[in-house]
Amino acid sequence: MKANRKKVFVFIFLVMAVYGRAQELHYSQYFNAPLLINPANTGFNPDYDFRVGGNYRNQFANVGSPYKTMGVWGDAKLFADRFENGWVGVGATILKDASGSLSATSGYASVAYHQLLGYNSLLSGGFGLGIINKRIDISKLSFDNQWNGKFFDVTIPANEPFAYNQATYFDLQVGLNYAYFASENMYLNAGLSVMHINTPRESFFDPTVSDNRLERRYTAFVNSSFKIQDLWIVNPNIYVSKIGNAWETVMGFNANRDLGGDGLQQFIVGLYYRNKDALIPMLGFQVNDMKFTVNYDATISSLSSFNGTRGAYEISIVKSGVFPSGAGRSVKCPTVRF
């Protein structure tokens, strides 16, 4: 019975990949993929001149073909000596998303401007442009009219109106970000972004058959940091994203524990909850300016009956640094740190 249920789920999953709205890229550690969430985050790293990062996510590993999402990104702060209390951020992201017969490769470039407002506020605005290519191996798919009563017979014609095995399009996004540094021990930050502003066409069918377009995706986040007794920095946050009628909400916290008294070595622990989907514990370690974090998504939705609560795992690495010349350090922005 379990094997039959698994086959049914895999079939439904594959059909949804072709006919339904494509899965939007997402990470549980959304805060470690800042350019994917909001282009206004580009160069928003006041203590440093640049960041580079990498993310890897594997989900549905024990239910059919797993979804594997991976990406590398980087950004830098520029022209701080040319603007009064402000700077420009530039960045780029490369992403790969794949599951069985369906894969997507995308690249984004983003730019943002950050302006200090007084002594304790920062307002940022950003713009991103991406190019996305999605491919599908139709030979690996099975359809309802290929069911012969006992199994899917690939020798039976699918009779599906595919016109292409790939789709390529441009994607536009825009975002705003506001930060308030209440004190040396408290920091608040909120952002809002809109993706797929141009509602690009995404379909493997001829336009006369299907003119499926990506709906605009709206994303908002709020996070804060509190320093406690010079030992802990606690970071509660919430992330909400909406595309069409689909919502994703992730809320929780992560906390850094100073291990050496100088902040150079920190232990990281966190716990998150994705609404009606998963409980997400997280662990990590930071050495100097290099941060490693890993999380595990334990499924708590109805999908748990198929995957035994085993949802996804995710790994993130982020490295921050300062240019040797010291360029960009002329802007002094208050931060919460050890």
The Cβ of residue 211 has, within 10 Å, a number of other Cβ atoms equal to 11
What is the pTM for the complete model shown? 0.83
The token pair that represents 17 in the structure block: 């990949």
Of 323 and 21, more confident: 323
60 vs 189, more confident:
189
Q: Which residues contact 48 (CB under 8 A, 6 or more apart)?
A: 77, 289, 320, 321, 322
For the stretch 259-300, pLDDT in tens is: 988 878 999 999 999 998 899 999 999 999 999 999 999 988
DSSP conformation letters of 175-226: EEEEEEEEETTEEEEEEEEEE-TT--B--SB-TTT---BPPPEEEEEEEEEE
- Tell me how crowded residue 285 is: count the other CB atoms within 10 A of its CB: 15
CA neighbor of 337 nearest in space, from 224, 225, 189 = 225
- Greater pLDDT, 156 or 70: 70
Residue 1 pLDDT: 41
Q: What integer is the mean pLDDT of 202-208?
A: 76
| Contact status, residue 312 vs residue 327, Cβ threshold 8 Å | no
Between CA 3 and CA 21 the distance in angstroms is: 27
**Bridge partners, 134 (sequence order):** 104, 167
Write down all domains in the chain, each with its CATH number in brackets: 2-321 (2.40.160.40)
Mean pLDDT value of segment 311-316 = 91
- Looking at residue 148, the DSSP 8-state letter turns out to be -
